[in-house]
Structure formats: C-alpha cells, structure tokens
Amino acid sequence: MQKKQPAAGNRKGARAGQAKSGRTSGRPFKKDQPRTGRPAPRTEQDDRPRTGRPGVRKGADVRIGAGRPAGRTQKPYPRKKAGTTTYRKSDATYDESIRLNRYVANAGVCSRREADVLISAGAISVNGTVVTEMGTKVMPGDVVKYGDRRLNNEKKVYLLLNKPKDFITTTDDPQERKTVFDLIKSACKERIYPVGRLDRNTTGVLLFTNDGELTKKLTHPKHGVKKLYHVHIDKALTKADMLDIMKGIQLDGTLVVPDKLEFAGTANNKKEIGIEIHSGQNRVVRRLFEHFGYRVEKLDRVVFAGLTKKDLPRGKWRFLSEKEVNFLKMLG
C-alpha cells in the first residue's frame, strides 16, 4: 500500500518526512544501492571541465608550486640543461643588477646597514651622479665611488701559504727567480696580493688577499698585529744581549722593542730563540740580531695575526675559514 505523500505546499511536513526516512533531498532513494558511504561512480557529464582550461577547477590556485606537499619546492630558475653548464634562454630573464648597499658592503667599506647611512648622506655616487635613494640597483660596469675612491665589487679572497725557502715575495722578478705567486697561481681567478713580505730565505706564514681595507689594517703599526718567529742564530745568545734586545734599538728612526723573547730549544741550546714582535720594518728580526753581532741562519714565521701553519706543509696553501676572516677583521 503506497504511503500518502505530504502536500507540495506543506514544507514543514515535507522536511519532517525527509528526516523520518533519513533522506536529505527530494530525489527518490534507490533501495538496491548499498549505503556504504562511498561516492557514486562518476559519469561522463561529471568529468566535463568547469572552466575554459581543461581539468582545472573553477577558482583553483594555479600558481607554480601551489598545492605541493610540505617540504617540496619548485626548482629555482634558471634551470640547467642536463650534462651542460649553460642555461636555456627561455627559462628566465637574468638580472645581473645588485643593490647599491650590498655593492658598497662587498667592496669592504662597511656593513650593509652602514652603507645605507652613507647612501642617504649622499656619500656614494654612481656613474658620476650622487645617489640617495634606498634600494637603488647598479649593473656590472657601473662606476661606484665613495667620495673620490672607486669601489671594487670583486669577491674577497683570503689565502694562507706556508712559504718555503728561495721564493721571493713579489709579483714579478726581472731576474726570473721563483716567486710566491708560482705556488698559488692556480688557487683562484681573483688577483690577490701578499700582506707584508717575507724575504727570500725566510719561511713560514704568509697571507694573501684582495681586501685592501684588511691589508691596511694588518700592516699599519698602530694596530699592533703580532708576529711570532722561530730564529736560529750562529752562536749562543748571552743573557746580557738578551736583556739589551728587550730594551729595543733604533731602526729607520723608530724604536723597535720586541714583545717577547725566550729560548726555544733545549735547556742547553741557546741558539734557538722565539721572538714575538709587532714592528713592520723590512727584515726587522734579522737586523735586530745583527745589531748585536749575531747572524741569523734560519728564520721561520710560525704565527701571523693569530694564523698558524698547523697542518699546512711547506709550499702548500689553503683558504681561510669564515671564522678566521671574522677574527682578522676584529683585530685592532
């Protein structure tokens, strides 16, 4: 017997009938379809795209990487061709510009924050025009000046060499003798220069860099950068001469006074001396001992500005760590 359906106009009765039967829509429920909670099979009509772009849901986020699982990111552009070191031109538009404050900081003048102050004060010019606007970008080839000084944005390199004997510290020698640059010529493409000098027969720690500000700091006497030498002399050093050396002598119109002086050999060996000094005069250690009648047979610099030749064989070089570079910049 067919149940009487509520009138179409009686909405309250219709909703009550739906609630009683467990249905929430007015469509007839098929008794032969199992109520498993699984969605009904999709039909051809359901698969039709709802926008002008096939397969894209209306209102969907179509940005690159949208909807990706956490931890997965889009590969950065430009992408490299497999097996090559060149990039596809269609991948991205290259931007070789660099922010002006970063350019100034890379040149070794100051930090980026301090560079912003210099820019706002009108101390920086680009191609002859003073720039005061924050966020200004410069291109390779632009002439950037801090006052009258042209800045160089070249990557800073810091290299330590354990110099062997018979190499001279110069970029070019008319006599075609061996130079320290023969030992480091394959180290980097940047032009680097020695910080101070070691004469031909002196061995040990020698620093190279293209950081002009740091070079000036490490070589200026007012910063008192310490150097430690291991000296071999031709005869035993007397106690009287040792005391006189510690009092200092005049060299080139300047009083040179060692910071420390002590015997470095065995108890009975008075020919090996360790001397710590911050003076920057040419051949200062040799001249100091020669003044008191001693001839230096061997001279090895074992420490320079806190840098040592530990684990660095004679004639070999290495780049400084970031920690070592930061230490050097904090000296003085």
pLDDT in tens, 144-179: 999 888 887 777 899 999 999 999 998 778 888 999
Range of 103's domain?
A: 98-150
Q: In terms of Cα–Cα distance, which of 234, 224, 232, 219 is closest to 256? A: 224
Q: How do residues 175-198 score in pLDDT, each as one tens digit? A: 889 999 999 998 998 888 999 889
Furthest-apart CA atoms within the chain: distance in Å: 134
Task: Mark out the alpha helices in 99-211 (DSSP H runs).
Answer: 100-106, 112-120, 181-184
Active site residues: 199
Total domains, the chain? 3
195 with 219, same domain? yes
233 with 300, same domain? yes
Q: For the chain, list the strands marked E by DSSP.
A: 98-99, 124-126, 129-130, 137-138, 144-146, 149-150, 158-163, 193-194, 202-209, 227-233, 249-251, 254-256, 260-263, 272-277, 296-304, 307-308, 317-319
Could you tell me the pLDDT band of residue 88, with boundaries at 50, 70 and 90?
very low
Mean pLDDT of 232-251: 93
pLDDT at 86 over 50: no
Structure tokens at 240: 């009287």
Question: Residue 48 domain-assigned?
Answer: no
Q: Strands 227-233 and 296-304: what pairing?
A: antiparallel
The answer to whether 307 and 205 have CB atoms below 8 angstroms apart is yes
List of residues 6+ apart from 307 with CB closer than 8 A = 160, 205, 207, 320, 324, 328
325 with 213, same domain? yes
DSSP letter at 156 equals: P
141 with 114, same domain? yes
Question: Residue 109 domain-assigned?
Answer: yes
